[in-house]
Chain A
Amino acid sequence: MMYDVCIIGSGAGASPLAYELSNAGYNVVVLEKGRLFREEDFSKDEIAVSRRSLFTPLLKEEQHIINQRESDGTITRHVGSEYNWSFWNGSMVGGSSNLMSGFFHRMKPNDFRLRSAYGDIEGANIVDWPICYEDLEPYYAKVEAVIGVSGELVSHKFQEPRSTKDFSYPPTAVNEVTKWFDSTCQKLGYQSIPTPRAILPYDALGRKACSYSNFCGSYGCATGAKGGARAALLNKCKAKIITEAFVYKLESDAHKITEAFYYDKNLKSHAISAKIFIVAAQAIESSRLLLNSKNKHFPHGMANNNHQVGKNLIFSAGGSGQGRFMYENLREEEQKELMQPGLFFNRSLQDWYEYDAGERIYKGGTIDFLFEHANIISRATKQFYNEEGKILWGEELQEKIHKILTTSRVLTFEVFNDWLPTEHCYVSVDDEVKDKFHMPVGAINLWGHAHDLKVGNYLAEQAVKVLEKMGAKEISVNISASAPPNLVAGGCRFGNDAKTSVLDANCKAHELDNLYVTDASFMPTGGSVPYTFTIYANAFRVADKISEYLQSQL
């Protein structure tokens, strides 16, 4: 059977295309490596989700090699399964969007022209995007309406232009401590922004409202309020979804992809033919699939005759920090406010999305504030050591756990700034290690530019000022060059120059007529916000381009 469209992957970069193209009447098949989990399958089982990693592959069966570039230029090789170092997110229908926290900030106009706006930085491959903010704005608006983004628009100096007055849904309910935060920011002259979230505050779009269960990030949503790709899109389209289908190779002639080969759960191989192929298997895995798909026309991997596939892998730079609010410093009423369960914090700062560092204007970023995750086992295990780094046990540990967990609460912050693309951070395939499908595993070659740390630390300093002024104690900051596995992009950057990019402005491969890559791989730079909102918006944009093309072929 010849499908109109074959989509590899089912997450945020895949589902808008499945939704738009199948609802437009095209015959669409989606190949998803993971299983199907529905709302009724999602519980708040910390042992399954957080301790035993229910939603990701076993590392001994599927893993990555991590080649870390050290400061002296040497490379340290880490076999993922030996170091328990996982770059998997959500291997399931809807992908990791099922498990996101849903912090939905748009990228700013200057994020699309990073090089023009802020200039080159030595050692970084900074480029402008081949599209501008105005090209993507209608699709951000579409995501806000179709996926369901809740929030409250407040004006601030880096507020991006919008075609709609406000978000499609009012904000979800917040904890009273947000008032402490707002008042502190006002005193400091900072602009507190209600964080837009892909979470429905009431029943809408055929989905149930948020139940304020107090567990959001890392967990699947049992009501469907969270705008994951399965709940928001795949449930509402006619695309055929084949689960537990691992695509291991694409085949082509000189101009077109002809077939996608996949293994089912019994390791039986199948082939799918289609007019158009869309790869959206998550940034690292999409590059890996192309690199593993070699033939006489593409001896270095599909769409890789210019040797660009896998290059310029990026993550989100920055890190996190936290401060603790303790009963002994609070009035009784404040203690009750602090411990209100279930409600969101939902506050962000973008005052330093760009800032003047004296010698030049720096691109800065976003700071999101949220309460420490409710996972109780995790919070208890964090108390195992005393301030001197000595491990505790017995009554001393018992008393520490009880006091900390019952009379204090941690407010955390996450810093998002650009991970500059460089020649040292890229995806390749490993020569030695293969996965359970006997395919070479992806190799993640890691290096972070020193500039990323400088910006991350600057932003963290601003966040610390807020925590200090709010009265938080035990404030700590962790800004590092470590790569967050859930915030990965690049590897198949789009651009107008076919020599230096993999995809054209419509995310179609320069070298093939019917191959598109629509997960975060396309991003040449990442902006300073979490990626999912932009991945969704771009996938809706590309769906329109493919729809136009298919109509022209009728």
Chain B
Amino acid sequence: MVLKSRRTFLKETFFTGAVLVMSGTKLFGAVTPLQTITAVQEDLFPHAKSLGANASAYVSTVFHHSRVSEEEKNFIRNGVQWLNEEAVALYKTTYIKLTPTQRQNVLIHIAQERWGERWIETLLSYIMEAMLGDPIYGINKNEAGWTWLHHSSGLPRPTKAFL
């Protein structure tokens, strides 16, 4: 029972719990993954929001999925820390406090690193899912993503989400 409670707590706090950001060897501060991921996803693909796709809410849902590996979840959470540490190194503040231009510069900076490129690719993949997956998942509202790309879904469509 204790373990179960702890697991539930960890799940719920995965996105809202604090991630510590270091500046060199010193503690700079803390950020929440959800805030950072929301900002990054809007910076990476702003068109998703204009299509009504709530990519960060979708990522929160997907991260409770048994088929998304712990390695992937940890990588995304670690990426939040590393991204903010790059922001601190470049601009002496965390990512969400930067101007849009500064945030783009941070993204360009981390894209030069192997982890950063992979992290951006991972977040983009979930944005595409949120924008182009079946609306049964609470995404792709009014099939706006499919309409944008002139896509007709295969039939039959799912009647329940696979979560």
User: Which A residues have a C-beta under 8 Å from some C-beta of B?
Assistant: 42-48, 51-54, 58-60, 81-82, 84, 211, 213-215, 219, 222, 341, 374, 376-377, 380-381, 384, 390-391, 393-395, 397-398, 401-402, 405-406
Given A52-B65, A384-B121, A398-B45, A46 and B152 touching (CB < 8 A)? no
Q: List 13 A-B contacts (CB under 8 A).
A: A44-B155, A44-B156, A47-B134, A48-B158, A48-B162, A377-B129, A380-B128, A380-B132, A391-B121, A394-B45, A395-B46, A397-B44, A406-B149
Task: Tell yes or no: B5 within 8 A of A by CB.
Answer: no
**Residues of A contacting B133 with CB < 8 Å?**
46-47, 51, 377
B107 interface residue (CB < 8 Å to A): yes
Assess whether B12 is interfacial by the CB under 8 Å rule: no
Q: A43-B158, A44-B158, A47-B133 are in contact. List 9 more A-B contacts (CB 8 A).
A: A48-B161, A51-B129, A52-B67, A222-B156, A377-B128, A391-B111, A391-B117, A393-B44, A398-B47
What is the CA–CA distance of A219 and B155 in the complex, to the nearest angstrom?
11
In Å, the complex CA distance between A234 and B88 comes to 62
Question: Are the CB atoms of A43 and B149 closer together than 8 Å?
Answer: no
Q: In the bound complex, how far is the Cα of B37 from the Cα of A290, in angstroms?
A: 49
Residues of B within 8 A of A384 (CB): 121, 124
Chain A residues positioned under 8 Å from B161 (CB to CB) = 48
Interface band, chain B = 35 or more
Whether A60 and B154, one on each chain, are in contact in the complex, defined by CB atoms closer than 8 angstroms, is no
Answer yes or no: B125 CB below 8 A from chain A CBs. yes
Q: With a 10 A CB-CB cut-off, give which of B128, B134, B137, B159 has the most chain A CB atoms.
A: B128
B157, closest chain A residue (CB)? A43
Evaluate contact between A376 and B151: CB separation under 8 angstroms: yes
Q: Which residues of B contact A59 (CB under 8 A)?
A: 69
Contact status of A376 and B132, CB under 8 A, knowing A52-B65, A402-B149, A406-B149: yes
What's the Cα separation between A43 and B157 when bound, in Å? Answer: 5
Contacts of A45 in B (CB 8 A): 134, 136, 157-158, 162
Say yes or no: A391-B120 contact (C-beta < 8 A), given A43-B157, A45-B134, A405-B151. yes
Pairwise interchain contact B67-A53, C-beta atoms closer than 8 A:
yes
B153 touches A44 (CB 8 A): yes
The 7 A-B residue pairs with the shortest CB-CB distance, nearest first, are: A44-B154, A48-B162, A215-B154, A45-B158, A43-B158, A52-B67, A393-B44
Q: Does B99 contact A (CB under 8 A)?
A: no
* Residues of A with C-beta under 8 A to B45: 393-394, 397-398
Q: What is the CA–CA distance of A213 and B47 in the complex, to the nearest angstrom?
A: 28
Chain A residue contacts of B154, Cβ below 8 A: 44, 213-215, 219, 374
- Would A47 and B137 count as touching, CB distance under 8 A? yes
Nearest to A59 among chain B residues (CB) is B69
